[in-house]
Amino acid sequence: MQIAVYGKGGIGKSTVSANLSAALAALGTKVLQIGCDPKHDSTRLLHHGQRITTVLDYLLNTSPDDQKPDDVLAEGYMGAGCIEAGGPRPGKGCAGRGILTAFEFLNKHRVLDPYDVVVYDVLGDVVCGGFAVPVRKEYAQGIFLVTSGEAMSIYAANNILHGINNLDPDGSRIAGIIYNSRGAGDEKERVYEFARAVDLPICLSLPRSEAFLKAEREAKTLTEMDPGSREAELFRGLAEHIREGLQLYPAKPLSEEQMELFMRGEGLGSDAGLQSRTGQQNEISAFGDCEACEKAGTDKETVTGEQRTDTASENVQPSGAASVPKKRALSDPFSRVPLSGCSYRGAVDLAVHIKDAAVLGHAPKSCTSYAVNGLSSYGRNGLFSRGIIYPSFIPQHFDNTDIDIRDAVYGGAEHFREKALELAKKGNKYIVAVTSCIPGLSGDDLEPVKDELKAMGVDMYIIHADGVEVGDYNDGMAFCYKAIANEAIKPVENVDKDSINIVYELNWSLNTQDNYEKIEALLKAMGIRVNCRYLYDTTMEEINGFLRAPYCIMAREDKLGREIKELFENKYGCSFIADSFPRGFGETRDLVTKLGILYSKEKEAAVLIEKGTNEYNAALRSLRQSFEGIDVMAFLGNSSPWVKELLQDLELDLKYVLTPENEADNQGWTYRFSEAYGKDREEFSAKAERIRPKLILTTDPSILSKTPEGSKVIMLPRSIGTGFTSGTDEAYRWIKNMGTELKGRWKNDRSVFEKYYC
């Protein structure tokens, strides 16, 4: 049989567990006590305080091939087995994960098999999954709650009942309450009142006694030090009770409201539905079956060392408990843009664009493999589709700590330190550290490493991309953008009046570099240099000197982009010229005009605009001939000024254009699932079937219930290139597609593969 002893920290669980184990051993029971506390002091009274090796220390310092269960099993009073699970040093690692690891080792080597009774002494409360292990069905069958009459002790006992109810809502697992008196006021009455309220018996009532203190000073149990004492007799009675078979009861915790009333000393009300098993306040003896257990009725189980027979009725929610509506496991899936990856990968995908910085992932190997595959896929895609290698997707140094179970349990800060120092010794002056979920949960503190590297002349920037806390891919990117902006930008002495910063380019698109080159050509024509691309194909040196440029331009606009822009404006006083790269002729002309004024380059701007206007008009004349006799319908699922401008300048035979009233921050994702979108779909599809135009332009092909006979549907990109002729370049694509029956781009894969790989 396996039992667990739970209760508030410092309430006497270890004293109770050790004395109970000693009493069982004295009765001839083969008993094993397992201390589930990083302090590893649970079994000291059984083995006179001798030092024993904890399971976790043993696993940390012993190779798997050399591990033997006897090395962590100590023999205590009357042959009682003693095991301490142990844990990481205080403030480091994850003790709950450590408990799980220790139990995996004990199960692997079948350490528990030879014992009649196993006693688990568990840290404080059911605080996490690790410390809840003994409660799970395959471990402790019976659970004792140790409490005094103090408020926090009773709160903890009730919280433990909540935890047990969550883990096993339909089972009967509670053996009863062990009342450990502190000798304070009316605490006895409070404990008995609580026992009645939660419908549990008090199986042992321990008086406040100096005998316990004396025994602990001698590192002995009372059964060994003074077997004839009243206290030792009480534990023998409980031990006999366990050997004969425990009656178990379901967990019926008080609700928060009921607990508040109880702690105030107020009645729970007639509707509480919580009646005593006995109906009276008699002290319940540990000797044999207690009166309460005999009168408990059907709401119980009987468990012995040989068998466990379920006789419990269905665990019914107390009638007085507040009705709690079930929560949805996930938020409304249509309330946000779909997830596109974890935050660790999002942060890494940005960090690798800092060409003179080493990226150090503090993550399991699988996380980094996922991240590397993601960032390198852009390069592979570019090579396959265009025959271009994008060096911005090849980081200078990308290392990883390859977190394993030891780092998760004991903390991986020292492991991280070793990797960071290795990168520093290789000559890296900048390191961007990106953490994953596990170091966030185990509490790794990397700041001391950052300070140590600073003394060596190496700047480290820590991106805490813990997915559990931070979120998904977009959240990881946001955290990286903001962390680097907050820490890496330095004051400058001189401003380069003829320079500009570009902020928030799309880091995963193959069109990003093309758009940059077009913008750069416009800027060069006016004598303006790009100071920093934040964060794309840049250097930490350029980021440090971000403030050298008097103005900035956003590459694109969305919710995150606006947050980044506000950070630069509020923290550094940066001035932004535009919210996104110009799309189409009109936006490009307006931007060039504004640049000419701000940079005192009006003449250069005028020359550039004249040249761009001539190119645009020439393209329009050619396109008008191609579109002659073609009628058009357009559905613009988002705000697309460049499309409207282009359609007007081409003088097309426009039959119908539908544009949503509002563009959502998430690029129309929620709009697609709105009632308004459904009406727009029906209206547009009906008109298209009636008009049957030769060309239908749409941002969403699903807007049509079917393609009208004789119509060509062309998907509009969410954004096009930049520059004076970006719109007309897109119109040329329309003409080309109208004369082409596409069977699927996959048909080109073989020629591309043979060209670049064979």
Question: Does residue 125 have an active-site annotation?
Answer: yes
Distance CA 690, CA 708 (A): 8
Residue identified by tokens 């506000």 is 566
Instruction: Determine the Cα–Cα distance for residues 703 and 676; give it in Å rounded to an integer.
Output: 12
Whole-angstrom Cα distance, residue 35 to residue 85? 6
Asked if 234 and 204 count as a contact pair (C-beta separation under 8 A), the reply is yes
How many C-beta atoms surround the C-beta of residue 10 within 10 A?
11
- Give yes or no: 8 in active site: yes
The one-letter code for the residue type at 508 is W
| Residues 6+ away with beta carbon under 8 Å from 312 | 171, 172, 248, 250, 298, 299, 300, 301
Active site residue 365: no
Question: Any residues with CB less than 8 A from the CB of 194 and at least 6 apart, and which?
Answer: 147, 154, 157, 158, 177, 262
Element (H, E) at 459: strand 459-464
Burial of 306 (0-12, 13-18, 19+ CB in 10 A): exposed
The catalytic position among 13, 300, 419, 565 is: 13
Distance CA 432, CA 353 (A): 11
Q: What is the DSSP string of 106-131?
A: HHHTTTTTT-SEEEEEE-SS--STTT
Torsion-angle region of 30 (φ positive above 0: left; ψ -120 to 50: alpha; else: beta) = beta
Q: In what order do the strands lie in the sheet with 397-400?
A: 397-400, 358-362, 430-435, 459-464
Tokens of 190: 């409070």
Residue 653 token pair: 């035979």
Catalytic residue among 121, 125, 399, 649: 125
Rounded CA-CA distance 472/151 in Å is 41
CA distance 199 to 300: 11
Q: Which residues contact 677 (CB under 8 A, 6 or more apart)?
A: 660, 671
Task: State the burial class of residue 393 (Cβ atoms within 10 Å of its Cβ: 0-12, 13-18, 19+).
Answer: buried
C-alpha 219/C-alpha 340 separation (Å) is 58
- Is residue 434 a contact partner of residue 466, using CB atoms and an 8 Å limit? no
* Catalytic status, residue 326: no
Least Cα distance to 407 among 398, 397, 417, 399 occurs for 417
On whether the CB atoms of residues 502 and 519 are closer than 8 A, the answer is: yes
**Which residue carries 């050790």 as its tokens?**
18
Which residue of the set 8, 188, 220, 601 is catalytic? Answer: 8
Helices (H), 245-290: 256-263
Give the catalytic positions in this structure: 8, 13, 39, 125
